[in-house]
A and B are shown apart, each in its own frame.
Chain A
Amino acid sequence: MRTVVTLLRKDLLLELRALETVPAMILFSIVTFVIFHFALNREAIDGQLAAGVLTATLLFASMLAINRLFVAEREQGGFDAFLLAPVERSALLVAKAAALCLFLVVLELIAVPAFDVLLLGPALGPALLGLIAVLALADVALAVIGTLVSAIAVHARAREVIGPVIGLPLLIPALIATARALGPLLAAHTTGTPPSRWIAFLGLYDLVFALLAYAVFDFLLED
């Protein structure tokens, strides 16, 4: 546990000092919203369309973070240093996934209000709690799969290509669930409660892939 916290602190400190990933993600999201406004040629969107736009934007913004997640480790010998330390190897997985999750939360804290202002028709007020719940589960899914895929891709040749190419199909069920859960929440007359079947599915997906990632991660770190 202490290892995880130490690694997490290191990643967050690095990000705070360099400010590379999160601002890029935020900028990307906002530009994407603008592009969607012109691409869809509408004043405001709601319902399933809005949920789809938001989900797709978050997904592609997260790809930016996923591409960069292990790069510093690879280029500056972080993997070797970590392997030499007498700690549990899956701590790296947990720490990186937690860092990615936090980046996504920060992204959403800015991108969702931007979405509300720029594109969304109905007010977010009643749906806010449901939205937070769904996005929290989606963040965990993106974080787990993103970390796994990033660890696989960092040693491959065409790193920035392979990462999204593997990660996107793996994330499709989670995205289906996120988009379907957000659809009723962003509709004009929303009850504010997300459909429970998709929440349950997202939870199941998170659990299964978290356990799976935990089980296989050690093999990715061997020399």
Chain B
Amino acid sequence: MIGIAFALIFFYAPLDADQGFIQKIFYLHVPLAIVSLSGFVFGGLLAIGHLRTGERKWDMRSYVAIHLALIFGFAGLITGSIWAKASWGHWWEWSEPTLVSYLIVLLLFATYQPLRFSIEDPERQARYASVFAIVAGAFVPLNFIAVRAAQKFVHPRILTLGGGNLPGSMRLTFVISLLAIGLLYVTFWKFEMAAKNARGQLRAARRALLGDDAVRPMGRSAAPS
């Protein structure tokens, strides 16, 4: 999917009229931003699952969702910065609500891991992390409204004005890029969940066969082991 997306980006979509080739980074930046914000909200929803059922696996899903979304988020921030430098002339722009609200959300979720790993008792760690994930997930839309109300905008509004004014070929490329980044996120998520599950099962097997001493305690880990 990613391969198709990149092929389309480079060969199919026409050059944007006033920004030229640089505009193509938009196909990376916007999907990254959208997927990361959705990932944060998704993490919050998974955390609700954890608090309702009390099973640690939901918390693990929430943890993986949030930290992947944070990585995608920083990638989005950096690609956005590159695009900003190329098209507006400077790396950052305070008067732009989309950027500022995005930065605030990223700063908030960057505190998720320090919070998590500063609580030592694993049950409590999982619970508190879930509470934080829910509150922070609810915060994402509220923050967006606040910052948007506070400032004027120069950020191109591609999606908000009734489908935007993308010509057909660009719209197709955009949708495919969005799907591609979304699928990449889901793939990473499943992969990491599988890795954590496998490690947990391996450790349980070692514990059963070799006794508790044979299994070294893991350092920072959100997974039950």
Interface residues of A, Cβ cutoff 8 Å to B: 148, 152-153, 155-158, 162, 165-166, 169-170, 172-173, 176-177, 180, 197, 201, 204-205, 208-209, 212-213, 216, 219-220, 222
Report whether B111 and A169 are in contact in the complex, using a CB–CB cutoff of 8 Å.
yes
Q: Using a CB–CB distance below 8 Å, which chain B residues touch chain A?
A: 51, 104-105, 107-108, 111, 114-115, 118-121, 124, 127-128, 130-132, 134-136, 138-139, 142-143, 145-147, 149-150
Q: List 22 A-B contacts (CB under 8 A).
A: A152-B115, A152-B131, A152-B132, A156-B115, A156-B119, A162-B111, A162-B118, A165-B111, A165-B114, A166-B108, A169-B105, A169-B107, A169-B108, A172-B104, A173-B145, A173-B146, A176-B146, A177-B146, A197-B149, A201-B146, A205-B142, A208-B138
Q: Are B149 and A201 in contact (CB under 8 A)?
A: yes
- A173–B111 CB distance below 8 A: no
The answer to whether B135 and A173 touch across the interface, beta carbons within 8 angstroms, is no
Docked Cα-Cα span, A148 to B131, in Å, equals 10
A212, B134: Cβ atoms under 8 Å?
A: yes
CB-CB under 8 A from A176, the residues of chain B are 146-147, 150
The 8 closest A-B pairs by CB, nearest first: A173-B146, A169-B108, A156-B118, A157-B118, A216-B131, A169-B107, A156-B119, A165-B111
For the residues of A in contact with B, the DSSP-based class is helix
> Which A residues are CB-close (under 8 A) to B111?
162, 165-166, 169
Q: Are B115 and A162 interface neighbours, CB within 8 A?
A: yes
Which B residue sits closest to A172, measured CB to CB? B104
A residues less than 8 Å from B114 (CB atoms):
162, 165
Option from B120, B131, B139 in Cβ contact (under 8 Å) with A157:
B120
Closest A residue to B51 using CB positions = A219
Residue with the highest number of chain A CB atoms closer than 10 Å, among B107, B131, B132: B131
For B145, the chain A residues whose CB sits under 8 A away are 173, 201
CB pair B147 A173 closer than 8 Å? yes
In the assembly, what is the distance between CA of A205 and CA of B141, in Å? 11
Residues of A within 8 A of B128 (CB): 152, 155-156, 220
Find chain A residues with CB under 8 A from B121 CB.
Answer: 155
Interface centre among B104, B127, B135 (most CB of A within 10 A): B135
Cβ of A33 to closest chain B Cβ, rounded Å? 25
A148 touches B135 (CB 8 A): yes
